[in-house]
Amino acid sequence: MKSFEEIRGQDDALRQLRRALREGRLASGYLFFGPDGIGKRTTALAFARSVLCRERTGSEDACGECPACTRLRSGGHRGFHLVEPEGTRDIRMEQIHELGRLLSLTPVEGREQVAVFPDADRIGVLQANALLKILEEPPAGSMMVFVTRRVDLLPETVRSRCQSIRFRPLSAGVIRDILPDDEDVTRLAPLAGGSLGKIARLREMGVLALLDEVEALVGEDPLQAAEVCIRAMRGGSRDDLATRRERTMAFLSVLLERERQCVAAGGDAGRADFCYRRLVTGLDNLRLNVDPDTVLRATLVEIGPLWPKTLSS
Ligand SMILES: [Zn+2]
């Protein structure tokens, strides 16, 4: 597990958390939000360790050696609760009820109890209502940390009872510090919206080679380029519809990111706007469960003729 000192590129968030720890003014609910793959979960776990530690360091990091830290590391700390969805299912009602029961018990070790929800996007409406009951009258010394991509994925009733902490996309400099400085990283970093997780995913998908291949084809024959993409979305160890949809979304997001950069670099804004809208429509259709192959064909046929200009900018 990482400590605050090892977390990179989230200085604002860490400053707020350290101040709360130092001043002993901890909220009963926190909402960590920002894109995937930038350190929210890691920070939530480091924060939980600091809250539970009895001998924090000068930088408000957990000491790693006190009885609370030792027990947390071995998985035996009774004041720490990790509430995660199992498999593809959302968090179950029984998990919320069990958490409420555990939090209401008098803590045996130390004073505090911390519950971390690393996938708070996957709390359903009924479960959120049950959580709200706990948040409205939080057991003394208890805290919940919700981690989500977007604040609006959590019901307003839960949000309003939490202190929100924004996590920012990682800068190109921080990414270069963390990842080996190779050509792939240099090309992928600006396409991945400052997310380490996304860089890894795009690399695993072979997106750079795919972009090169599509680039060579798409101006002349957008349909043929679409077929190349469709085949690429089927690659990998898993080839089910959900995986294809997820890969297609990642690929269209990359194209969207290129349009943003094209405009930022002073490229043809009208052309970029047209492509941007088509790509957003494609992503919306994927969310509406339109078949990924159909979406790729429709999108590439529309933006294909405009593609070369995107690249030259
Ligand atoms: Zn400690």
Give the start-to-end residue ranges of the domains of the chain.
Answer: 4-166, 206-312
- How far apart are the CA of 61 and the centre of ligand 1, in A? 8
Asked whether residue 110 carries a pLDDT value surpassing 60, the answer given is: no
- How far apart are the CA of 41 and the centre of ligand 1, in A? 20
Say how far apart CA 143 and CA 28 lie, in whole Å. 4
Average pLDDT, the chain: 89
- How far apart are the CA of 114 and the centre of ligand 1, in A? 15
- How far apart are the CA of 62 and the centre of ligand 1, in A? 5
- How far apart are the CA of 21 and the centre of ligand 1, in A? 14
Give the model's pLDDT for residue 311: 46
Band (pLDDT 50/70/90 cuts) for residue 308 is: low
Asked whether residue 313 carries a pLDDT value surpassing 80, the answer given is: no
Residue of higher predicted confidence among 42 and 194: 42
Average pLDDT for residues 220-241, to the nearest whole number? 86
Asked whether residue 307 carries a pLDDT value surpassing 90, the answer given is: no
Asked whether residue 95 carries a pLDDT value surpassing 60, the answer given is: yes
Band (pLDDT 50/70/90 cuts) for residue 194 is: confident
Band (pLDDT 50/70/90 cuts) for residue 222 is: very high
Q: How far is CA 96 from the centre of its chain?
A: 22
Give the model's pLDDT for residue 236: 64
Which of 257, 258, 213, 259 shows the shortest CA–CA distance to 235? 213
Give the model's pLDDT for residue 109: 56
Which of 136, 141, 144, 197 shows the shortest CA–CA distance to 169? 197
pTM of the model: 0.80
Which of 169, 142, 132 shows the shortest CA–CA distance to 33? 169
- How far apart are the CA of 39 and the centre of ligand 1, in A? 22
- How far apart are the CA of 187 and the centre of ligand 1, in A? 41
- How far apart are the CA of 18 and the centre of ligand 1, in A? 15
- How far apart are the CA of 70 and the centre of ligand 1, in A? 7
- How far apart are the CA of 112 and the centre of ligand 1, in A? 13
- Could you identify the residue written with the tokens 């047209």? 274
Which of 175-184, 267-276, 278-287 tops mean pLDDT? Answer: 278-287
Element (H, E) at 117: strand 113-117
Give the model's pLDDT for residue 113: 92
- How far apart are the CA of 56 and the centre of ligand 1, in A? 6
Average pLDDT for residues 298-309, to the nearest whole number? 84
Give the model's pLDDT for residue 141: 87
Say how far apart CA 161 and CA 266 lie, in whole Å. 43
Give the model's pLDDT for residue 312: 41
- Nearest 5 degrees, angle CA 111-CA 116-CA 117? 155
- How far apart are the CA of 20 and the centre of ligand 1, in A? 17
Give the model's pLDDT for residue 173: 84
4-166: CATH topology:
Rossmann fold (3.40.50)
- How far apart are the CA of 296 and the centre of ligand 1, in A? 52
Cα dihedral 88→91→95→100 (10° resolution): 160
Asked whether residue 93 carries a pLDDT value surpassing 50, the answer given is: yes
Average pLDDT for residues 147-160, to the nearest whole number? 89
Give the model's pLDDT for residue 279: 95
Asked whether residue 56 carries a pLDDT value surpassing 50, the answer given is: yes
- How far apart are the CA of 84 and the centre of ligand 1, in A? 24
Cα dihedral 189→194→196→201 (10° resolution): -70
Sorted by sequence, the CB contacts under 8 Å of residue 235 that are 6+ apart come out as 205, 206
- How far apart are the CA of 189 and the centre of ligand 1, in A? 36
